[in-house]
Amino acid sequence: MVAPLFIGSESLAELAALLARPAVGQVIVVTDDNTQRLCYPLLRPYLPAKHSVVVLPAGEEFKTLSSCELVWNELTTERADRFAVVVNLGGGVITDLGGFSAALYKRGIRFMQVPTTLLAQVDASVGGKTGVDYQGFKNHIGVFQEPAGVFIDPQFLQTLDPRQLKSGYAEIVKHWLIADADAFATGRHIGLFVEDWTPIIRASVKTKEAIVAQDPLESGLRKILNFGHTVGHALESYLLTQPSREILHGEAVAAGMICESWLSVQKGLLSPEELDKIETFLFSIYEKVPFVSLETEAIADFARQDKKNAGTTINCTLLEAIGRAVYDQPITVQDVADSLRYYQKI
């Protein structure tokens, strides 16, 4: 079952109404030090007077089981029972980690998502995926667990710097490329020159919800949502192991979409003309992710741990046209390395 979803300026009032119900016990807000400073003041008026706050360090490098322990320690200290509700306030790291922590505490308590980044609003908070990184691999440990509600207020986007906004935009472009050719045709002429994000968020979330509703546990169709992520996650995971080479998730996915579009052409699925449209648009927004040729094999090796794999087969989502994706397309580590070399030379 897809979680109740509220989008717009009234969404936080809906959250307040749900938290005021008699069936709600303790309320614990999970956030990070950035969102505590920038976003918690906007949320606080909608919370019960009595609530506790867990503040985690900000950053993908803290999306770990150790951070989950900080959440579990607070829940235990507060004697949180199974009527407690965790409210996750933040971007994709917080919504993933907070949801995962709630799903495991006392075999599962309710949690609500209040996403504050564009990426979390259109992707990470929707669909019931939760988890943490492990041994350098993205979202390696996790569960499927739908939140009790998702509350998307575009006002939080005003707290973002341009780089974070662009990172989230990559997931919107992904939804266009896998399922909405018309939106891509329109959106590529507008780019980030957006006055009101609400209609774009609604449309993007609607695309994801429609896919998730047909395949909640990612046994088939939902795999198309991973377009750009096989190569993108490999690139992101590798760079996270390197000192001072920070990369945002959307930046890696944008690079991954170019690589996997190129692989789609190599497999005879996508036309070179469509690849050119995708490349031109993405490079008009995103700078090229820097790495050297000698690193391509090491980056590609991370794809061996991709969650869509079956045995030694790397299963990738590719495009057979803009707006139409196909999943479970077998590729090799060498294919991943070749796509990275192509990306590097463009």
The residues annotated as belonging to the active site are: 107, 129, 171, 208, 218, 222, 226, 229, 233, 249
Q: Which residue in 250, 318, 254, 262 sits closest to 282, CA to CA? A: 254
Q: Which residue in 123, 113, 237 sits closest to 170, CA to CA? A: 123
Q: Which residue in 195, 158, 188, 194 sits closest to 173, CA to CA? A: 188
- Beta-carbon count within 10 A of 346 CB: 9
What is the residue whose two structure tokens read 């307040």? Answer: 16
Q: Which residue in 282, 241, 286, 284 sits closest to 260, CA to CA? A: 282
CA count, 13 A, side-chain hemisphere, 90: 29
Give 197's contacts (C-beta < 8 A, 6+ positions apart): 118, 154, 157
